[in-house]
Structure formats: structure tokens, C-alpha cells
């Protein structure tokens, strides 16, 4: 019996307790038609793969929810009537807003629409509960090569023959075990904190560290934190954060990074920092915490969510525009520290305890939660394995994560800035940029102007979807 991990449970609570589901989306842009047969074949393989499952809620105190076979199948593929080129962006947004259900199913959706002139847009959306971005792309890539199960994400689920009494007994055993793990982890965390306090007093290093791996909060204040925020968006009501998708040639991106001593990843950080600065969300005098997601997925992985993360700090002044080396060096150092399996963080020790918390406490704790000011997710060349459907090569492939059901009050309270996802798919590099601040990024057109100006500053030719 496979149980939900802490990370799986986190996204389930976001949906069931907080009412803000998180989904991942992959979008393919084709200049030619893609056959319905090819899409239907892809759907059948996805349905036989690891993202096609449901959550079984448990009632035994302390026991974790578990995975079971999907309760409802995903809908068949229907290629909608052709839409005009200008409507592509709206269609993608509508697909990202589709209601998915990780408990009753379906938890994912594959859809497509024709575009005037012979093109096709394909979208795959999956609940973050059943799989993170790496899981969704692995499942899609496997399906496109005729396989249901990827090498790095195994299919799991409950055997339908399991008896109710057998499952209840397993839940009791799991509950007892998890309570023990929570007590042990909390004790080790408290002991570790006490030791660190003694060390700090002994050495005189009493200030809070904000280096990589610390738990210092994100910088979520407005750029003019000492003055009232300029309220551009409505005072209240539903609000979908602005998002733009932009391509450039991969060779251009690589050349721009190399010209300043950087890598594709350090240029991504620089571009997002530039967008934040141009928006007025941060000033050039600030030191910005940059969140860099890291996949921990490995061969034969059974986890739905296998993503960790590191943070670096970058001065928002213009120095990085002339030399990307410091960003590159800081990122490498953070990635090496994250990969060190000999170190167990306090956060890891407390995960069993946090997964035991009742929904009511989770809701209260979430009231003080924050979103990253600057999140840069580099998916590398993952788009290459996704590029071809039914023998037709996509012009570009975009990937991103979306929080549904957001409103102005939530976005202002959580204080997010910009989240970005970058990948290569052949000769194209595609960037998805989302502005989480409704006042600094009040419209898609405004965000697009900021992105275009930033691309121009790096000598990149922007092609917006």
C-alpha cells in the first residue's frame, strides 16, 4: 500500500483545506495539424501510467492517506473547432483553469484545439497532488515513446482485491508508526536546535543566518515598504495572475549567457530579476532571495512529488548584468549543499509531525504563509523528449505551474513577485512568466512589455505566444 508523502499531503491540503488547487501544465504549439489518433494513443498510455490515480482518505488518527486506482477516467480527446491565432493565449488559460479532482478523479486532462491556418495547440494539465512538474513531463515523455511507465516514476495504486478490514488494519499500523516518527523527529529537531543555540552563544554568532538552507522568510515587502502600496488592482474579488509565454532561439539564449560568463540558469535568474526591477516590485538597492526548485526524482521513484529547492541571494543592482559569474557560483554551491545526503535539516525532521496536523491548524498556519518573491525553475532540455506527437514536431513546448481560485486579497497577503519556468525543446528556448503581484503586474499586456524590454536588454529576440 502506497502512502502520500508530506509533499503530496501539502498539495492535497492546499486544495481541500485552503481551496486553492495547484496544477501543472504542459503546452505544445504546432504549426501543422496533429492527428486525433496520435493524441488518443497518448491519452491511453497516460491512463495506464502513474498520474492516473486517486487519493483514498483515511479516518484513523495519524495514518496517512493512500493511493488507489483512478476512480474516474479522463475524458476522450476532442479537437475543438479552429480558433484564431489571437485566441490561443485565452484557450491555454482556460485549460489551466479546468477543475481536476485528485480524490474522485479525473486528476488530469489532455486536450487540443485547431488554429486557423493549420496549426494545433495541445494541453496536458495534471493536479499537483498526483505529480509534480517532473512527474507530469516524465509521464508525457514516456507516453510519446509508446510506454505507460517512465523510468523515473513508477505506477502505484491499491490492489482492488484488498479487503476493507485489511486496509483498516494497515491504516492503524501506519498511524501508530507515524505518531512515533513524529515524536522522534520533533525530539531530534529540538535537540539539534538546543545544540545550535549553545554553539551560537559560545562563538558569539547570535544573528540569524540567511545563507542557503536557512529558514529565513521570503522578502515579501513592497519595494516601497515604508509607504502605502499603490492599489492598482481592485480592492477585492477573484484575480488570475498575469502570465506570458515567450520563445527565443536557444542559440541566442546560450550566447547571451556565455557572453557574461554565465549559464542558462544564471541568465534565467538575471532575466527574472530584471522583470522584478522594471516593475518596481524591488529596487536596485535590495538583496533578493531567489528560489531555485530542484528535482530529487530518481530511477524507479514512486513519489508523486519529488521536488526540493534551494535559495541564493543576489544584489538587485546592475552588477549581474555585466557578470553572471557570481550567480552561477552561488547556484552551484547551493545545489551541492542540497545534494549532500549526510545532512538532515530540521524541516525534514518535522515533516512527520506536520503531516499529522489537523486541517483546522493547517488553515491557521496558512494565514501567515508567503509566496516566493523570485522563483526560477530551470527545466533544461526536458522539452526535447516531449517535442514530437504523432510524427509532428512542435514549434515549442511550454511548462508551468498554476494556482487556481486565487483572489486579490490572497495574492496581496502572500506577497509573491515573479515565478518563471524555462526549458529548451530543440532550437527554441521557452519561458513562462507569471506575475503574482496584482498591483505590479495588473495585466498580461503590462507584463509582456516588461518581458520584452528585458529580452531586448540581453539581445534576445522575443516571440510571444
CATH-assigned architecture of domain 207-390+405-464? 2-Layer Sandwich (3.30)
pLDDT the model gives residue 229: 67
6-176 maps to which CATH number? 3.30.559.10
Nearest of 208, 213, 162 to residue 338 by alpha carbon: 213
- What count of Cα atoms within 13 Å lies in the side-chain half-sphere of residue 198? 6
Give the cell for residue 297: 526524482
- State CA 154 to chain mean position distance: 20
What DSSP element (H or E) covers 63? none
pLDDT-above-90 percentage for the chain: 73
344: Cβ contacts below 8 Å, ≥ 6 apart? none
Q: Do domains 6-176 and 207-390+405-464 have the same CATH topology?
A: yes
Which DSSP category does 2 fall into?
A: P
Per-residue pLDDT tens over the stretch 412-458: 999 999 999 999 999 999 999 999 999 999 999 999 999 999 999 99
Per residue of the chain (465 residues), give pLDDT as tens: 899 999 999 999 999 999 999 999 999 999 999 999 999 999 999 999 999 999 999 989 889 999 999 999 999 998 888 999 999 999 999 999 999 999 999 999 999 999 999 999 999 999 999 999 999 999 999 999 999 999 999 988 765 545 666 677 788 887 776 777 667 766 766 655 544 443 433 333 332 222 323 333 344 345 444 445 677 888 889 999 999 999 999 999 999 999 999 999 999 999 999 999 999 999 999 999 999 999 999 999 999 999 999 999 999 998 999 999 999 999 999 999 998 876 677 777 888 888 988 888 888 888 888 999 999 999 999 999 999 999 999 999 999 999 999 999 999 999 999 999 999 999 999 999 999 999 999 999 999 999 999 999 999 999 999
Give the cell for residue 312: 541564493
Per-residue pLDDT tens over the stretch 320-375: 999 999 999 999 999 999 988 766 777 778 888 889 888 888 888 888 889 999 99
Per-residue pLDDT tens over the stretch 44-62: 999 999 999 999 999 898 8
pLDDT the model gives residue 357: 87
**Residue boundaries of the structural domains of the chain:** 6-176, 207-390+405-464
d(CA 436, CA 440) in angstroms, rounded, equals: 8
Nearest of 131, 129, 111, 160 to residue 49 by alpha carbon: 131
Alpha-helical segments (H) within 263-376 = 264-279, 319-322, 325-339, 346-356, 359-366
pLDDT the model gives residue 29: 97
Torsion of CA 53, 59, 60, 65, to 10 degrees: 20
Taking every pair of C-alpha atoms in the chain, what is the biggest distance, in angstroms? 72
Give the cell for residue 25: 501544465
* Terminal CA-CA length for the chain: 43
Amino acid at each position: 500500500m502506497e502512502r502520500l508523502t508530506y509533499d503530496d499531503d501539502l498539495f492535497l491540503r492546499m486544495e481541500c483545506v485552503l481551496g486553492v488547487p495547484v496544477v501543472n501544465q504542459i503546452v505544445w504549439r504546432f504549426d501543422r495539424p496533429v492527428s486525433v489518433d496520435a493524441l488518443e494513443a497518448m491519452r491511453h498510455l497516460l491512463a495506464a501510467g502513474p498520474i492516473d490515480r486517486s487519493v483514498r482518505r483515511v479516518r484513523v488518527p495519524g495514518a496517512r492517506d493512500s493511493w488507489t486506482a483512478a476512480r474516474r477516467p479522463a475524458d476522450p480527446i476532442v479537437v475543438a473547432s479552429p480558433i484564431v491565432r489571437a485566441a490561443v493565449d485565452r484557450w491555454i488559460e482556460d485549460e489551466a483553469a479546468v477543475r481536476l479532482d485528485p480524490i474522485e478523479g479525473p486528476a488530469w486532462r489532455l486536450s487540443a484545439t485547431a488554429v486557423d491556418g493549420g496549426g494545433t495547440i495541445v494541453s496536458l494539465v495534471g493536479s499537483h497532488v498526483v505529480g509534480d512538474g517532473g512527474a507530469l513531463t516524465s509521464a508525457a515523455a514516456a507516453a510519446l515513446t509508446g510506454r505507460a511507465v517512465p523510468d523515473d516514476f513508477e505506477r502505484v495504486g491499491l490492489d482492488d482485491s484488498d479487503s476493507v478490514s485489511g486496509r483498516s488494519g494497515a491504516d492503524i499500523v501506519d498511524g501508530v508508526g507515524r505518531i512515533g516518527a513524529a515524536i522522534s523527529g520533533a525530539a531530534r529537531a529540538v535537540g539539534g536546535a538546543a545544540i545550535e543555540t549553545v554553539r551560537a552563544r559560545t562563538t558569539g554568532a547570535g544573528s540569524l543566518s540567511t545563507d542557503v538552507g536557512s529558514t529565513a522568510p521570503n522578502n515579501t515587502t513592497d519595494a516601497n515598504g515604508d509607504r502605502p502600496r499603490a492599489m492598482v488592482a481592485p480592492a477585492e474579488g477573484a484575480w488570475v495572475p498575469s502570465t506570458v509565454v515567450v520563445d527565443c532561439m536557444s542559440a541566442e539564449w546560450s550566447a547571451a549567457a556565455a557572453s557574461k560568463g554565465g549559464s542558462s540558469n544564471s541568465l534565467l535568474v538575471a532575466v527574472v530579476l530584471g522583470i522584478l526591477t522594471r516593475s518596481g516590485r524591488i529596487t536596485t538597492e535590495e538583496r533578493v532571495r531567489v528560489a531555485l526548485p530542484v528535482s530529487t526524482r530518481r530511477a524507479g521513484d514512486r513519489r508523486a512529488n519529488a521536488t526540493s529547492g534551494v535559495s541564493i541571494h543576489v544584489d538587485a543592482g546592475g552588477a549581474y548584468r555585466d557578470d553572471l559569474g557570481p550567480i552561477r557560483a552561488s547556484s552551484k554551491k547551493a545545489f551541492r549543499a542540497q545534494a549532500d545526503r549526510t545532512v538532515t535539516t530540521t524541516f525534514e525532521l518535522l515533516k512527520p509531525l506536520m503531516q499529522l496536523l489537523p486541517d483546522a491548524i493547517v488553515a491557521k498556519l496558512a494565514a501567515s504563509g508567503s509566496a516566493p518573491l523570485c522563483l526560477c525553475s530551470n527545466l533544461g532540455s526536458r522539452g526535447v523528449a516531449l517535442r514530437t506527437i504523432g510524427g509532428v514536431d512542435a514549434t515549442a513546448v511550454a511548462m508551468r505551474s498554476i494556482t487556481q481560485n486565487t483572489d486579490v486579497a490572497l495574492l496581496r497577503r502572500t506577497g509573491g513577485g515573479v515565478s518563471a519556468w524555462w526549458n529548451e525543446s530543440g532550437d527554441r528556448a521557452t519561458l513562462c512568466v507569471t506575475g503574482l503581484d496584482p498591483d505590479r503586474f495588473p495585466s498580461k499586456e503590462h507584463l509582456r512589455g516588461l518581458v520584452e524590454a528585458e529580452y531586448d536588454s540581453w539581445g534576445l529576440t522575443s516571440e510571444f505566444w
